[in-house]
Every structure is written in structure tokens, then in C-alpha cells.
Amino acid sequence: MEECCSTKPQKEHSHLEGDGHDHDHSHSHDTGDQSVFQMFFPAIISFIILISGITLDQYIKPDWFAGWVRIFWYGIAYIPVGFPVLKEAYQSIIRRDVFSEFFLMGIATVGAFAIGEYPEGVAVMLFYSVGEVFQAMAVTRAKSNIKSLLDQRPDEVTVLKDGQPQTVKAEKVNIGEIIQLKSGEKLGLDGELLSEKASFNTAALTGESKPDTKIKGEAVLAGMINLNTVSQVKVTTAYKDSKLSKILELVQNATAQKAPTELFIRKFAKVYTPIVVFLAIGITFLPYFFVADYQFRDWLYRALIFLVISCPCALVISIPLGYFGGIGAGSRNGILFKGSNFLDTLAGIQNVVMDKTGTMTEGVFKVQEVDFKPEFDKNEILGLVNALESKSTHPVATAIHHYAGEINHSIPLENVEEVAGHGLKAMINGKELLVGNFKLLDKLNITYDIKPENIVYTLIAVAYDKKFVGCLTIADSIKADAQLAINKLKALNVKTTMLSGDKTSVVKYVADTLGIQNAYGDLLPEDKVNKVQEIKAKNETVAFVGDGVNDAPVVALSDVGIAMGGLGSDATIETADVVIQDDMPGKIPMAINIGKQTKKIVWQNIILAFAVKAVVLVLGAGGLATMWEAVFADVGVALLAILNAVRIQQMRF
């Protein structure tokens, strides 16, 4: 057989939580149940009191607006926006995270009050808190986009009990119960179709709205929408274990896998913030020893400006948001990334190594011809082959079953064994039956009188009782968008290689048809590992594309394991790094492109934040920038970076 089914080991994915500055809005801005007005309400109150104070200060100038009245007025303006930040700073200090952005903003604004710059102190905190709300909204929107894309599970389903339809909660439905699904209704649990035929919209799972027709006995999944007749589905999986539940959980957990850039920025913020605080102290006191007309108030003001500018929130929030946007863009297109680290790796991938069957070809084999020697009873041997192949999950086994018909379960199969990369063998009534490729016959010293290498089809050899019986000719068709996928990979300067256990003539034919640069057939799993190691020995990155449950060693060795046909296998969803849900090769270059665009946006944000902050820091330290410029350098840059990060969610790939 071509690829033997071995189970892919779980890759070591340490769920790396950012160990630096944690910009978590769950404390100060819980946007879950709040309206936009409620979120902005403290800022509106603060703004009204601030503007009235500035009007009294600059234009009306009444005698009573002075001294303690003026301080009290601006103090009241400060409380709605300042108190939550000071509270957050206090809680951060208790958590032993002293140098948080809340601490920076707190000492900067309280310091402004201390030197009598009341309007500026309020304005800095007001703009900062408005920026925080916008950030919180952007994060919530990114999360809800993904959640609404994937959390397509209906809460209730119609179950048939004693032939009568009853509406029950989806999570309370047991395996084996029968769901009735009306036209236009969404399926709540995974199951098996009992009706003769039904068409479904699978957009929730694959990103493709093209109808998918299922026939009796085929698997149907939660989230699929019934398009025409009333259908009946027998539940095969509990609500919490459905494919859609697993996909949703996977995407929600994806943010735990941090990209190297993200981890670096968090660690950087952890070191950077205390340095900034000590530099600000230096700006306040060191000029005393070097400047003739040293004014403490002036240098403290400069230090406070320096603190506001240096707040790292633009980086700390916009970078994770950029990666979250990339994960969301992928899931909208039927591509699941298990973490932002895989977006980063795919962005720089140099080689795509792919399996043939089920990846670039349909994996739907059809028996074209059965050529058995006349001394054997064709129907009897086919029955034996069909019974043995029922022990395999390989597409070839399915093709033989469709051709040969019902399986005779009374055939006494003993010592059934799958020979890795070769095929199957078993004992029947004391006689050995071999079904697989010609390497299996070579291995067990069975002679044959044909030259399989000359035939451009997959051949399944059969031997019985130490004699060569003949072979089945099996053909597979190339996927519709495989050619486009290879062309796009070439345009991205990605090298392509096909590795397959199928015979070399078939593999070369498919590779030549598609324009794949390198192709190797007749490979055992260990041969595939050697080929990938050869590529990695050149210090080049490798993405391996296969069906996720086969070729375990190669997937473990590759930098990114991409699984095709995620809808077909639970193991695929659990073990691959990236899952392409609708089996389309065209999604391979799309995944790489999403990675590239995400990384580009992240680096744009890093450069923007550092460039603007560096300029305003120098101006602030030199006394040429006021608190207003500082506000722009902090909140303005953060908002620009967020708008840039959100952009990826609107891109078409």
C-alpha cells in the first residue's frame, strides 16, 4: 500500500504565556456586557469637566476659579479616568509587577498635578483611557469575529423519541439518538446521515459556501446547514466532542502559542519599563550638577513627558492583535493555525514537501482493471482481498470495497498485519494472503512476471498461498486547484517536493503534470524522513503537507505540519500545526501569504512605535515637547498601530 497509517505523536507545544507585561483588559475594561456608551461614559464626564475648566482658565477667568477650587475642579475631572488606572497600578504592584504601563501613567499624571500642570495631567489620563477603550474594543472585536465564525453550534435540536419530534438542549442529546433536521436548519452534533441523500452548506467549517451532497451512511458534522429536504441524522459524538467544538477550542487556544516576535516584545517591555523609570529620575536630578540655572520644576516636567512617551502599550497590545487578526483571517478562509508562532514560521518557509494521495490528488481511488491469472477464481480472490482490506483505512481499501461490494465477515482472517509502507498480510485457512505493492512481494520472495514500473497507475499486487495471483489497477485524479496551488507557491519562491509511498512512475507523472520541482516515489516512512533531513541539512525551513495521521516522523521533523482534510479526522485536528479544513491545495499558498502579511503588519507597528517614540523622547528630554506631544506619541501611536493591526481582518487572500 502507499502510506501506512501510523499515529502522529503530539508535537511538544509548550503553551507559552507571555511572561512580560500583560496587557489584559479584563480588569479595567471588561467589554463583554458593556455598551459603547457605558465604556466611554467616564471619559465623557472627564472631558466635559476638563473643557469647562480650561474655558474658565483661559477665557472667562473668574476670580473664584483659583487656589483650592481650581485644584478640586481638575481633581474631579481626573477621577473618572484616573482612578481605574491608579487602581490597576496598585494591583500590579501587589502582583509584584511594579513597572507596568499603569504605574508609568500614574506617576506621570500625579507628577503633573504636583507641579501645577492640572489640565495637562487630566488630558494625558483622558486620552490614555480613551485609547485603552479603543484597544479593548479592537481586541473584543477580533475575538468575537473568530467566535462568530466558529461558534456555529445551535443550542437546541429536534430529537425523534418514539417517532415524535421533541426539542431538547443539544448538550443533553445522547450518542445513538436520532435528530430531525428541517430545510435551512443547522446541525447541532456530529452524526451519520440516515436519509438517502441530503445537501449541506459547510461554510461554518470550511469557509466554502459550495453545497456538499452527502449520501446515506456518510458523516455529517455540527455547523452544517441542511439545504433541501427534511433529513434524519443518527448522533455519533457527544456535543462537547463534536468537530466544531474542537475547532472552536483550538482557535481560542491559538493565542497561547506566542510568536517569537510577540515573546520578545513582552520580555523587552519587562526590561524596558524599569530602565525608562530610572532614566526619568536621572532627567529630573542629574542636570542639577551640569546646568547653571537648574529649575527642579522644569526638569521634573521633562521627566514626566519622557514617562508618558515611553509607555510601551502601542507595542504590547498591537502586536498580539496583529497575530490574532492573522489567526482570524485564516479561520475565515477555512485554515486553522494552532498558534501565532506558526504564522511566523510559515511567513519565512522555503520548502513545501507534500504527500501525493489525498493532498494533491483526490484520494478517491477507483479500480480500473482486475488482472488475475486464469487458474484463480476471480470472485473468490476479490472476496478475500475485500475482507483483508476492511482492516485498513487507506483510500485504496475504500476503492476495492466499492468495486468488490459487501464484505464477507465469515472469512476466517488470522494474524492480520500491516507491513509499513508495503501493504497487508493475513492467514486464511492456513494459506497466506498478501495485498499491497510489489515491494511486499519482493520482501517475501514471491516471484511475478510483469514489470510494474512501466505502468503509470497505482498497482495493488495480490499473492495467495505463496503464488502471484495478479494485480488490480487503481487510478486517482489530480485535485482541481492543485495546479494553481503549485503556481502560487512558485510565485512565492517556495520550492516544492513530492514524497510518496506510491510507485515512482505514478509520482513522477503527477509531479510533471503539476510542475513540482522534485518528486520521489516507492518511499517507506524512514525514506521520507531522510529526504526531509537532506533539505533541513541545507539550513532551509520545511512545511510538510499530508493527511495528518500518516507520516508521523516527517511531520514531527518538519517546521510546520499542515494537515489536509481536517474534517475527516479527529486526530488531524489534534496533531497538525495548521489544518486546512476543505482539502484544497490552494489554501497552502494562502496560509503562507496570511503569515507573510501578518508578519509585515507586526513589523510595521514595531518600526512606527519606535520611530515616533524615539523622536518625541529626544524632543521631550530637550524641553522641546509638551505633554500634548507626549500624548500623541503614546495614545496616538497605539491607536494607529491598532488600526493597522485590524487591517488584516479586512484583507482578501
C-beta separation of 474 from 460 below 8 A: yes
Verify whether residue 634 is a known catalytic residue: no
Q: Is 73 helix (H, G, I), strand (E, B) or coil?
A: helix
Residue 89 CA to residue 102 CA, distance in Å, equals: 5
Angstrom distances, CA of residue 172 to CA of 155, 246, 372: 10, 18, 53
Angstrom distances, CA of residue 454 to CA of 119, 355, 451, 458: 86, 22, 6, 11
Residue 548 CA to residue 392 CA, distance in Å, equals: 16
Reported as type and span, the H/E element at residue 468 is: strand 467-475
Fill in the amino acid letter for 638.
A
3-state helix, strand, coil in the chain (%, to 5): 50, 15, 30
C-beta separation of 330 from 591 below 8 A: yes
Chain mean position to CA 91: 33
Q: Which residue has the cell 448538550?
A: 171
**567, HSE (Cβ side, Cα atoms, 13 Å):** 23
Give the chain's radius of gyration (CA, Å). Answer: 32
C-beta separation of 500 from 356 below 8 A: yes
C-beta separation of 437 from 503 below 8 A: yes
DSSP letter, residue 186: B
Fill in the amino acid letter for 451.
K
Residue 179 CA to residue 158 CA, distance in Å, equals: 6
Q: Which residues contact 236 (CB under 8 A, 6 or more apart)?
A: 175, 190, 191, 192, 219
Q: What cell was used for 309?
A: 512617551
C-beta separation of 605 from 319 below 8 A: yes
Residue 99 CA to residue 263 CA, distance in Å, equals: 18
C-beta separation of 357 from 377 below 8 A: no
Q: What cell was used for 32?
A: 463583554
DSSP notation for 606-630: HHHHHHHHHHHHHHHHTT---HHHH
Residue 130 CA to residue 146 CA, distance in Å, equals: 25
C-beta separation of 233 from 215 below 8 A: no
Given 212, 355, 502, 522, the catalytic residue:
355
Fill in the amino acid letter for 102.
F
Angstrom distances, CA of residue 51 to CA of 45, 46, 58, 643, 650: 10, 9, 10, 27, 37
Reported as type and span, the H/E element at residue 603 is: helix 587-621
**Strands 518-520, 495-499: pairing kind:** parallel
DSSP notation for 25-57: TTTT---SS--HHHHHHHHHHHHHHHHHHHHII
C-beta separation of 11 from 339 below 8 A: no
Residues labelled catalytic: 355
